[in-house]
Structure 1
Amino acid sequence: MPTLQDRARQSEAIARDSISRLSNERLASTWDETSQVPVTRAVTITRGWLMDELEARMNTLDVRNAKSPTSLGQAVSRFDQWLDAECGAAEGQTVNVLRYLY
């Protein structure tokens, strides 16, 4: 019989796999939607998984762009740029994460 921890790990793996299959547009809209709901433990965990996926995709783009012969290099990663924009946004203002996914 699976333990509670085993079921939790299974559920997380399923959730992360589902998130990884989202289009950039859907991932960005899901991020935005979760910022509009009351904060609960489940929402916080979900936003953590979404953020992990956002970071992975942005890092992949950074690596791809760094290999380009026309690249001048990027001092700050897309993910860090996005976080800086999020932190610097006025209260109630949203930052379009989709901008950092292309």
Structure 2
Amino acid sequence: MAQRRKFSEEFKREAVGLTRLPGASVSQIAQDLGIGSNLLFRWRRELDVHGKRSFVGVGVARDQEILALKRQLARVTKERDFLRDAAAFFAKESS
């Protein structure tokens, strides 16, 4: 069974933006992007109806991913500093 592909909000908005260019064919743009033309039409319709609130909750937003990575980096940095200090402490004790 094929796994369902997920597209970011940014990708969807850019794809819909391409369809609005003069002389643009939705089916050709969909083929170039490797998606179905029905899907591209659906994204376009959703953007027209909901505006800025469309595509909410699909995929991982870039800002959320960056925030999660920053939290993880802070945690790992604290762990590294703790282990470095512990190693220095035990090195002094054994001398």
Q: Same fold (TM over 0.5)?
A: no
Question: What TM-score do you get using the length of structure 1 for normalisation?
Answer: 0.29
The alignment's TM-score, normalised by the length of structure 2, stands at 0.31
